[in-house]
Amino acid sequence: MLHLVGLGLADEKDITVRGLEIVKKAERVYLEAYTAILLVDKEKLEAFYGRPVLEADRELVETGSDEILAGADKVDVAFLVVGDPFGATTHTDLVLRARELNIPTNVVPNASIMSGIGCTGLQLYNFGQTVSMVFFTENWKPSSFYDKVRENVQIGLHTLVLLDIKVKEQSMENLARGRRIFEPPRYMTVAQCASQMLETEETRQEGVYTEDSLAVGAARVGAPDQKLVVGTLKELSTVEMGAPLHSLVLLGRRTHDLERDYIRQFAVNQETFDASYAKSYGASS
């Protein structure tokens, strides 16, 4: 059987008891290592599980799934996913490939950023579409996220923005020359995300949000050193939140007073927060 096991958000101890039992008995254990990261090294996972873990990069998962699935009709294979297997990043393609090969599958859920973001005090049923923010380059600044944010803004809902990570990526030059040389890992920060959002607004000029729009920056959700910061997009564009992973939530105008009271404690500047909230978010529902 192929087991997709969610690892949760922080460290080696976030795995569920059911997930850990599967890992300990599986013939092979893979760790999906490109869409998200745990806040501990693979070696720490191996020490806790008491067995070796094979890193599965994008190339292996997307083009080498047969290697992962080899023999899974006869033995147990565990595929570990940071967060939840069907959370922010789904692995339905791997499950479908297993079905084609008549390999039974089992999914062990866990916390993901989609549920963990509730740590902000914002009510999960007040969230709209989730969007992703990629690293801009000089010649590539996609703004498809902006249209989804607009739809959320129109009905007053919060927007969760998932921030880009680059792991085992090749430069265009090395890719073109066929050289398997990889760039150092990069993880987008809340400040970079806020800056790119403001840059996009300046380009689009559609008034979906402004530099005074309120947002919540979240870092290392679920970890002991989790950090939350609330401020305007302008304030968050210069905030320092430490190590990855980071996320951002753009506040919806239907923010409830209880949500407001909860997030106010994390404000960069409570006077600025109160002024911005009164101007754009005063009507709760």
* Cα separation, 226 vs 43, whole angstroms: 22
Residues 143 and 240 in one domain: yes
**What's the pLDDT score for residue 284?**
44
Residues in Cβ contact with 176 at an 8 Å cutoff, skipping those fewer than 6 apart: none
CATH number for the domain that contains residue 177: 3.30.950.10
Range of the domain at 7: 2-111
Annotated binding residue 221: yes
Residues 207 and 235 in one domain: yes
The HSE-up count of residue 96 (CA atoms within 13 Å, CB side) is 6
Residues 85 and 141 in one domain: no
Please say if the pLDDT value at position 12 is more than 90: yes
Extract the tokens encoding 280: 């754009």
Please say if the pLDDT value at position 79 is more than 90: yes
Which of 67, 86, 111 lies at the terminal end of a domain, its last residue? 111
Between 63 and 169, the more confident residue is: 63
Ordered DSSP codes for 190-244: HHHHHHHHHHHHHHH-S-S--TT-EEEEEESTTSTT-EEEEEEHHHHTT----SS
Q: What is the mean pLDDT of residues 257-281?
A: 94
Closest CA to 161 of 206, 207, 213: 213
Please say if the pLDDT value at position 269 is more than 80: yes
Closest CA to 146 of 163, 129, 127, 164: 129
Which of 93, 111, 129 lies at the terminal end of a domain, its last residue? 111
* Cα separation, 258 vs 252, whole angstroms: 14
- Domain tally, the chain: 2
Annotated binding residue 15: no
Residues 103 and 196 in one domain: no
Residues 197 and 181 in one domain: yes
Are 231 and 238 a contacting pair, CB within 8 Å?
Answer: no
CATH number for the domain that contains residue 34: 3.40.1010.10
For tokens 């999960």, name the residue.
Answer: 124
| Pairs from 11-15 (Cβ < 8 Å, separation ≥ 24) | 11/38, 11/39, 11/40, 11/44, 11/223, 12/38, 12/40, 12/44, 12/45, 12/47, 12/48, 12/49, 13/48, 14/38, 14/110, 14/111, 14/222, 15/110
* Cα separation, 267 vs 274, whole angstroms: 9
Annotated binding residue 117: no
**What's the pLDDT score for residue 285?**
40
Residues 273 and 133 in one domain: yes
Which of 91, 111, 131 lies at the terminal end of a domain, its last residue? 111
**Confidence class for position 166, pLDDT limits 50, 70, 90:** confident
Extract the tokens encoding 60: 């292996």
Please say if the pLDDT value at position 215 is more than 80: yes
* Cα separation, 216 vs 93, whole angstroms: 33
Residues 44 and 131 in one domain: no
The 3 state secondary structure assigned to 108-163 is: ECCCCHHHHHHHHCCCHHHECCCEEECCCCCCCCCCHHHHHHHHHHHCCCEEEEEE
pLDDT in tens, 107-125: 999 999 999 999 999 999 9
Residues 137 and 76 in one domain: no
**Confidence class for position 18, pLDDT limits 50, 70, 90:** very high
Residues 40 and 26 in one domain: yes
Residues 270 and 150 in one domain: yes
Residues 85 and 199 in one domain: no
User: Which residue(s) pair with 109 in the sheet?
Assistant: none
Average pLDDT, the chain: 91
**What's the pLDDT score for residue 243?**
94
Residues 90 and 123 in one domain: no
Annotated binding residue 9: yes
Closest CA to 120 of 229, 212, 252: 229
